[in-house]
Structure 1
Amino acid sequence: MSTGFRYVFTFTAKRRSKPSYEYQGVLRTHKFYIKYYSLLDGQDPLKAVVDNKEKIAFPARFTEFLVDFAKELGGEVVGTRKVKIPGRDVYYDKPVVVLPNEVAFKRHLLLALTVATYNKPGEARLNTLRSLVLNMNANFLNILCDIAIDRYRSQSPARYWHMLRVGRAVKALYMLD
């Protein structure tokens, strides 16, 4: 039973207001954002990611972990582009990942929101969070993701902060701090 939608995500780099000297390379001057898109079944994800407006976007951390989790959910990387940072001779990889269904999209969204709230988690914390999100009740998962999407649509200047509160709530609820 197909819904007619496909969910895709990718990363983009946005310039920081001031350099962060705790990082090296691209992360010193730029911050990564994850962008989710919903596409119709016939659309090409590589072309549609450039043309369409995102469904939801927020600051992301640990991008390799997020791509690995998407593969674990049944997603596939359909393409990777090298993107040049304007004004510098630095490139970063921009994967385009297609998720298989809406449940996988919501599991990935909740994991990405929660991971974005960590400063320096250990591998054990990330694995605990991964298994928690994989085994979470679908109804509760749906409620949390709908709250995050509604907060994104609010157009408030602090909407990213309000969205990340959903990730902080998951950490507090399951004592992951």
Structure 2
Amino acid sequence: MDWARTEAKRLVDQMSVTEKVGLLSTHQVAISRLNIPEFNIGGEAAHGIVDREKFHTTSFPIPLTLSQTWSPELLKRVGNVISDEARGLYNATGKQHWLMPWAPTIDLERDPYWGRNEEGYGEDPYLTGQVSGGLIRGLQDDGHYVKVAAAPKHFFANNNEVGRGSTSNTITPAMKWCLNVTLLVS
């Protein structure tokens, strides 16, 4: 992966501020002088790739159900299928998106009123770290190249919908430490 970091740094060093700003959105504009095509980040993939247009994709049980298996290896297999389908859609739809799916939702489910609880793995930080790590390994790695780049969402203490950019998302230091450690170990 050193070559990828070197190449990314080389390209970024050549970009103007305006071009860099154009890459901050989920819809990234093309930079033709550097041979960088237009690209779209994202696409729901919490329990399978979501295509609302014309392709049928595999839908797995919701993450809360998958976490009840306590099997990071099973989640790795799920991630592998999701990334295979994402690569297929990328190739079939003009190579402009699908390679950075929004998954997994790593945030702990601390509030039953959140409204997105079906996207998360539960309230246990160790379990969440283990099964999220399994899904990420399945999404990204087949041993030869990065198949897709997982884009974890609602990563940390972000599970309130209303005012989430300006309200307090306080969690205990013990929960914070435990989640950080399990994600690093995974």
TM-score clears 0.5: no
| Structure with larger Rg | 2
Identify the structure with the greater strand proportion: 1
User: For this structure pair, what is the TM-score category when the shorter chain's length is used for normalisation?
Assistant: under 0.3
**TM-score for both structures, normalised by structure 2:** 0.25
**TM-score for both structures, normalised by structure 1:** 0.26
